Structure 1
Amino acid sequence: MSMHRKTITLTEQQNGWVKAQIESGHFGNDSEYIRDLIRRDQQAKQRLAILREALVEGESSGNPNPLDISAIKAAGRKRIKAVD
């Protein structure tokens, strides 16, 4: 994988935060921390896209049926007993 050098500007507070993350041992250097933030942002965007797709699918699946809370609770209790 090729690497690309970027220059970023941080406030004193942000720089202190990054340094604290490195000093705590979570990251070896600034670049590792920034790459981790980018990965997390990518994952969050992917989860959001999946959720949006599921919402669209649910909305287009037809008219909803009324919920039977008693049946839902009974099914949950049955699943719990099956695990025990």
Structure 2
Amino acid sequence: MPTIRKTITLNDTQDAWIKRQIARGAFTNDSEYIRDLVRRDQEGQAKLAGLKQAIAEGLESGVSEKSLDAIWGEAEARAETAGA
């Protein structure tokens, strides 16, 4: 994958933070740290989009005729199945 060089401006506190992350061995250089932040942001945005979609589907589905206990029981059963 081709790379693109970017120039960013940080304040002293932000630069010191990145340097500490590199010094503790979490990253090998500034670019690796920034790429990690971008990847985590992309993952977070994807999860957020999924949650928003689920909320929209829930709202569109209308009011359920089931009791709260029945809904909770179904959710627990799905969680057990998913964990198995």
Normalising by the smaller structure, the TM-score range is 0.7 to 0.9
The amino acid of 1:44's aligned partner reads: G
Shift of residue 64 of structure 1?
2.3
Shift of residue 67 of structure 1?
2.9
Alignment match, 1:14: 14
Change in Cα spacing, 1:68 to 1:50, as seen in structure 2 (3 Å) is closer
Query: How many residues of Structure 1 are paired with residues of Structure 2 in the alignment?
Result: 79
Alignment match, 1:47: 47
Alignment match, 2:2: 2
**What TM-score do the two structures reach when normalised by structure 2?**
0.79
Provide the C-alpha distance between the structure 2 equivalents of 1:5 and 1:71, rounded to a whole number of angstroms: 51
**What TM-score do the two structures reach when normalised by structure 1?**
0.79
Alignment match, 1:27: 27
- Worse overlay, 55-64 or 25-34: 55-64
Identity rate of aligned residues, in percent? Answer: 46
Mind listing any 5+ residue stretches in structure 2 that lack a counterpart?
none
Provide the C-alpha distance between the structure 2 equivalents of 1:22 and 1:55, rounded to a whole number of angstroms: 39
User: Which has the higher Rg, Structure 1 or Structure 2?
Assistant: 1
Mind listing any 5+ residue stretches in structure 1 that lack a counterpart?
none
Provide the C-alpha distance between the structure 2 equivalents of 1:21 and 1:49, rounded to a whole number of angstroms: 29
